[in-house]
Amino acid sequence: MIRGSSVFVSALSPRSSVRRRIAPLFALLAAVLLAPLLALDADSAPPPRAARTVDDYRHFRTAAIDLLGRMPTRQEIAAFERPDFDFDAWIDAHTTGPAYVERLTRIYMDVLRLEPNLNFTNATSQLYRHEVLGPDGKSLWIYYRENQRRERPETDGEFCLSPDETGVVIRARQPDEGTPRRVTKKLLDEYTVLVEPWWLYRDYRAPKPQQLFGTDAWKDPDPEYEPVEGLLADPDGKRVTAVRVCREEAQTRDVGHVYASGRVKAPPKDAKLPGGRVRPPPLDRPYATQHQGQEVACDTKTALDYAPDCGCGVGLDRCIPGDSNSGGNAFYFPNHVPLGSAYPLDDARQPQQRWFPYWWSREAVRFLDDLFAEDRDFREILTGKQTFVNGPLAQFYRTIQRGHCCGPEASFGMLEESAPLFDPRNVPADLEPQDVSTWKAVPDRGPHAAGILTMPMFLEKYASARARGAALYNDFLCKSFIAHDQQLTPSTEPNLMVRPGCKTCHATLEPLAAYFARVEPANFVFLPQERFPVRSTRCRLDAKGRLRGACNALYDAAFSDAKGATLRSAYGSPEHADETPVGAARDIVAAPEFAQCAVQRVTSSFLGRPTTPDDEALLTSLTSTFVRSGYRMRALVRAVMRSDAYRKSNDDASDGGTGGRP
């Protein structure tokens, strides 16, 4: 620069006297103009490296813990010690990759706790297994569904062989009653069939499946797919090549028909029941008599209730096996995966009811991982339509979830879900149920999808509309429900938004809960507006002030009268009910508290302490950075890590931090 300025001055000083006279002025002007540049140049020149202090090392260690997910190695420390180490570049380079992603996912998993402590039981898909004595006196297993409709009155709604035929009263989850007797071959052939099921054969859809699990015929099996031993061996220990299933359950058609047995009146109490059964065969419900012969989709609960010509589909792929009469175990998978599913801490034999909840949780983690790995707009955590599915989840969304519907909904004319949260047509077609390690992106689940809010894991973890609304309020707005100092006076007021003592919280909570009124509690069946209006004139209070039948299941008697009824959970805001979780996501991300809350959570996590009023300026600055970046976490994390507060966050400082430690 100095040389440059002298050249600049000398260029202006040829022999001209005028120029000679004005040369000092130019020189002065140049000096004035260039002084700031010179100063800037001096500032930007790399200062000589000072020796690293303990605090420097600890700062680096903290950053490594945050971005590498572990303490730094000796080699990384050696690189840090080099004079050309660029900490900013290091931060930029490491705000990508799996450890960074896991770091951010951990923040939101700690908040949302999206792991299930529940069993998913879906009568439509759950297969039980009972042992009977075969014609040769050897034990054999027969798979069946509870409450399967059958045309034989001896077995309708029960196991496919009657107590008279087996000697035993067989009911799911119940101890046997009676003494087993040999079942004749004729009966076995008539009421049961052998099936090559999906859990044993990779090519279970083939006319003659060949690729049996555990044999060379099944090439490159998924290493994480592992049925329990009980599903792989006969009672005598031989490898299973086909399973025996009740004939109705083994049916493969997609569409069945509503069946009416003609039984509309319960038999007298002392009447002898057919086949030695201990409870009378089911009576025809009004819907069956009114719609006899009507088509019904076979993968629905409606089919289980009404259609004896519906079963578990090709290779039983609409059902999940268990190795006992009480559900039993199905597959091996880990209990603990705190470092991700690629690094399990165990591998345990698990009950069939935990199979899908486990994958729901993995789906939520995948969704969050993708959000942070791709540095998506963070608002997509609530508004995103995308997700990821593997084989079991594809099976679940394709057919199993449909088995939840329809019970009381059928009375409103909904025999199958007409507007599911995850449209089965959007499930990748090339995923088989055994593809547990293969994950595929689903860009759009359907019009009702709203980030994590419409995932089974969220809807089952937060089972009620109020729990879902409270989770929104707490987790994404960082607000809590704190009751004011009010007395709970006796009241019969059903509207909690006005009841004294309740209203301080419920005036906010009930409208939030209303967003979830169309997603059934402890479930994920979506109730579309056209069949289930918020205010239904079809459902009314009777003379005793009650709602009857299906109306009581879906509508709220407390907000009903003789003219109509209000959809459950919708009274807080009928508008919100019709806006569905999609509206909830839209409204929550539009609130200014959404960005502030995200910034507070991330900042607090990286500083390792709760933020305080002293951090106000920092949080304001970070929020501005976050919003300006388009709600990108990477920009936020980089800003946090470059902040002075982060550098000072290491409590184990060198001055006095040793606390007399050896």
Partner 1 sequence: MTGRRSQEGGKAGRGIGCIPSRLPAFLFILILSGCASRPPARVPAVPGPPLALRGVQAEDSAPKQDLRLVPPEVYMRTYLQLFGGLAPLEAQRRARGKDGSALFDRWDDYVSALGFPDYRLDIPRQTQTNALMVATFERLGVALCDRAVEHDLGATRGGRPPPMDQRVIFAFDLPRGAVDQNAFAERFDVLHRTFLGYPAPLAPPERTARFYALYRDIVAGHRKADPRSRFTPEQAGWAAVCYGLVRHPEFHLY
Binding site for partner 1 (CB under 8 A): 52-54, 57-58, 60-62, 64-65, 69-74, 77, 99, 102, 106, 109-110, 113-117, 335-336, 338-339, 343-347, 361, 608-609, 612, 614, 648-652, 654, 658-659, 661-662
Judged by DSSP in three states, 532 sits in coil
If the CB atoms of residues 40 and 653 are measured against partner 1, the closer one turns out to be 653
| In the complex, minimum distance from the CB of residue 522 to partner 1, in angstroms, rounded to a whole number | 16
Least distance to partner 1, CB of residue 81, Å: 9
Q: Quick check: bond before 505 cis, omega within 30? A: no
| Minimum distance of partner 1 from residue 82's CB (angstroms) | 14
User: Which residue, 361 or 390, is less far from partner 1 as judged by CB?
Assistant: 361
In this structure, the dihedral spanned by the alpha carbons of residues 449, 451, 453 and 455, taken in order and rounded to 10 degrees, is 70
Tokens at residue 54, please?
Answer: 């303990």
Extract the tokens encoding 288: 């069956």
| Under 8 Å between Cβ of 158 and 171 | yes
Tokens found for residue 485? 């100092």
We find the least distance from the C-beta atom of residue 421 to partner 1, in angstroms, to be 22
As measured in angstroms, the least distance from the Cβ of 603 to partner 1 is: 13
Query: Residue 95 Cβ, how far from partner 1 at the closest point, in Å?
Result: 17
Is 344 exposed, middle or buried, given 0-12, 13-18 or 19+ CB atoms closer than 10 A?
middle
Q: How far is the CB of 96 from partner 1 (least distance, A)?
A: 17
Nearer to partner 1, 11 or 342 (CB): 342
**Nearest approach, Cβ of residue 534 and partner 1 (Å):** 32
Find, among 84, 104, 81, the residue nearest to 641 by Cα: 104
Distance between CA 422 and CA 406 in Å, rounded? 16
Distance between CA 87 and CA 188 in Å, rounded? 74
In the complex with partner 1, the residue whose CB is nearer, 173 or 336, is 336
The beta strand positions in 250-313, using DSSP E, are 255-257, 295-297
Closest to partner 1 by CB, 14 or 610: 610
- Cβ proximity to partner 1: between 1 and 71 the closer is 71
Of 329 and 361, the one with the shorter C-beta distance to partner 1 is 361
Nearest Cα residue to 336 out of 366, 356, 311, 361: 361
Q: Closest CB to partner 1 among 223 and 443? A: 223
DSSP 143-185: EEETT---SSTTTTTS-SS-HHHHSEE--TTS--EE---BPPH
- The nearest distance, CB 655 to partner 1, in angstroms, is 11
User: 592, 570, 579, 450: which is closest to 520 by C-alpha?
Assistant: 570
Q: Residues 188-214, buried b or exposed e (16+ Cβ, 10 A)?
A: beebbbebbbbbbbbbbeeeebebbbe
- Compute the distance between CA of residue 617 and CA of residue 597 in angstroms, rounded to an integer: 15
Q: Toward partner 1, which CB reaches closer, 525 or 645?
A: 645
| Closer residue to partner 1, CB minimum distance, 515 or 646 | 646
| Strand ranges across the sheet with 127-133 | 127-133, 139-145, 243-246, 192-195
Strands 243-246 and 139-145, sheet pairing: parallel
Which residue, chain included where needed, has tokens 């879900």?
Answer: 417
Tell me if 203 sits within 8 A of 213, measured CB to CB.
no
**For partner 1, which is the closer residue by CB, 229 or 651?**
651
Contact present, 304 and 256 (Cβ < 8 Å): no
CA nearest to 550, candidates 563, 559, 534, 538: 538
Q: Which is nearer to partner 1, 183 or 640 (CB)?
A: 640
Distance in Å, CB of 355 to partner 1, minimum = 15
Q: How far is the CB of 512 from partner 1 (least distance, A)?
A: 21
Distance CA 9, CA 192 (A): 104
Work out how close the CB of 659 gets to partner 1 at its nearest, in angstroms, rounded to a whole number: 7
Q: How far is the CB of 340 from partner 1 (least distance, A)?
A: 9
Residue closer to partner 1, measured from CB, 189 or 652: 652
Smallest distance from partner 1 to CB 173, Å? 23
Q: What's the closest the beta carbon of residue 423 comes to partner 1, in angstroms?
A: 28
* 378-394 per-residue burial string, b: 16 or more CB within 10 A, e: under 16: bbbbbbbbbbbbbbbbb
Taking a C-beta distance cutoff of 8 angstroms, is the pair 52, 82 a contact? Answer: no
Question: Residue 415: how many CB atoms within 10 A of its CB?
Answer: 22
Closest to partner 1 by CB, 102 or 510: 102
Residue given tokens 């600049």 in the structure block: 8
| DSSP letter, residue 206 | S
Q: Which residue, 66 or 305, has its beta carbon nearer to partner 1? A: 66
Q: Is 365:114 a contact under the CB 8 Å cutoff? A: yes
